[in-house]
Amino acid sequence: MTLKQILQRGEQIIAPGVYDALTALIAERYGFKALYLSGAGIAYSKLGRPDIGLVTMTEVVSTIELIRDRVSSPLIVDADNGHGNALNVQRTVRMYERAGANALQLEDQSLPKRCGHLAGKAVVSAAEMVGKIKAAVDARHSDQTLIIARTDAIAVEGFEAALDRAERYVEAGADVLFVEAPANQEQLQAICQRFGTRLPLLANMVEGGSTPMYTAPELGELGFQIVIFPGGIARALAKTADQYYDSLHLNLSNMPFKDRMLDLNGLNALIGTPEMLEHGKRFEANAQ
């Protein structure tokens, strides 16, 4: 089923963050209904830099293509602010959709943008964002491709202003609503009470972020149908990598760390090396 069909059935979608084909492959093995391609994760892993708008549209497209070549799970993609004005948004939608995105998340931040849970954000006018949403809806090839409208206005203009913006984004044709960084349960509940019966709502769980941490079932009880955990894998792997390099530096060997690693055979089994080599035999010169 498409993401749209899953949502129409009333099912909750838990989407773990991924940032490359390997993390997507590992996540897919656990049967999640969707994966979330994190712009922050791409910035962390490809650039070694923070999520402040440095990643380009073409770098994201390349990442989508590599992931789509390896996994078939529905893919929600962080499209930042559409990489420019409404015309840029339309190009972004076309390119992401062709590359294999099933949903695009667009935010109302201005440049330079910030991670949704960093201070110092700024937002474009609500009217400009409305135009971007309409442009995105107009540009998509399939009506099964979801446009997720995100507002970062809570931290900039206050909670009530963010809800007013969200109202306009719903009216503009967004398929899913994402009010970023609510500060407490009361704000989460208010979002659901106002919009929950009208379209699917997305909640973002960020360890150490502005929003209290809840489980997906708890958020489902409040009214959130999509829950993303976008940057958790990058933080988990960063800590593991730090511990690995520390161990190698101290011990001059991987032996003390080996029980926390896959060995060569384990990694090859995970990525499908035996199956791929067997498949390749069909095309060898002496194949019958």
Q: Is this prediction's pTM over 0.75?
A: yes
Q: Label residue 117 by pLDDT band (50, 70, 90).
A: confident
Q: What is the mean pLDDT of residues 134-138?
A: 98
SS3 label, residue 170: helix
pLDDT in the model for residue 288: 63
Residue of 285 and 236 predicted with greater confidence: 236
Distance between CA atoms of 254 and 262, rounded to whole angstroms? Answer: 11
Q: What is the mean pLDDT of residues 110-121?
A: 78
pLDDT in the model for residue 265: 97
Mind listing the pLDDT tens digit for each residue in 29-84?
Answer: 999 999 999 999 999 999 999 999 999 999 999 999 999 999 999 999 999 999 99
pLDDT in the model for residue 80: 95
pLDDT in the model for residue 119: 77
How far is residue 138 from each of residues 1, 40, 43, 48, 125, measured CA to CA in Å?
23, 27, 29, 35, 20
